[in-house]
A = this chain, B = another copy of it.
Amino acid sequence: MGTVVPPWKQLVLGAIEANSHLNHSSYIQLATIGLSGRPSNRTVVFRGFEENSDTIRINTDIRSRKIGELKHCPFSEICWYFSDSWEQFRINGRIDVIDASNPDPIKLQKREKAWFDSSIKSRLNYLCPTPGLPCNNEQPNQEAHLDPSSGPVVEYCLLLLDPDKITYYVNLNSDRRFIFSSVLTATGEKCWTSERVNP
């Protein structure tokens, strides 16, 4: 039995290809519920889908504010606008926060794989002072060093977003709009339905 690729994932892959000449085409906006109950929204990088899955990979620092927010409310909506093809995806789902303390060995393996899949430059980000804290100019400029063969540092955290509803705008300005919703079958498999709605 082959893996069935959900229809919306085909559309995302097509949009990625059509916009691949733009550096910012992998930049997505991730909304979460802030601890004050207000919305939070920031740009993060789409790091690909997990193998044979429609789960979306995002790298982040365990010390960033979104970790606390996601532990409080694990739901998120990603907004992904492709500026060359004018397509928009709104991807709603639940986020699994996988840090070094995760008890599941399979999840830790995924975290390790995602760590080695990222560039040395982006790995070095996790050695920087705590993001969002007041900047202390006095602190010695430590020469960050990282052995390329060493595994994930404790600050590195993998986020896996499991989508359950996608709204797709064929063209943002007007045109067509579709909603893809997932339902679980009796055997626990995810099944997708789609509907065309007014733009």
User: Which A residues contact B (CB, under 8 angstroms)?
Assistant: 22-24, 27, 29-34, 37-43, 73, 75-79, 81, 83, 88, 90, 92, 125, 128-135, 172, 174, 176-177, 195-199
Contacts and interface: CB of A to CB of B under 8 A. Distances in A.
Given A24-B83, A128-B198, A128-B199, A37 B29 contact: no
Contacts of A196: 134-135
A158 to B, nearest CB: 19
A37 B66 CA distance: 16
A196 B198 CA distance: 45
A146 to B, nearest CB: 15
Given A24-B81, A29-B41, A31-B31, 8 more contacts: A29-B31, A32-B39, A39-B75, A39-B77, A42-B88, A43-B172, A129-B198, A135-B197
A18 to B, nearest CB: 15
Nearest to A32: B39
Contact of A125 (B30, B131, B132, B174): B174
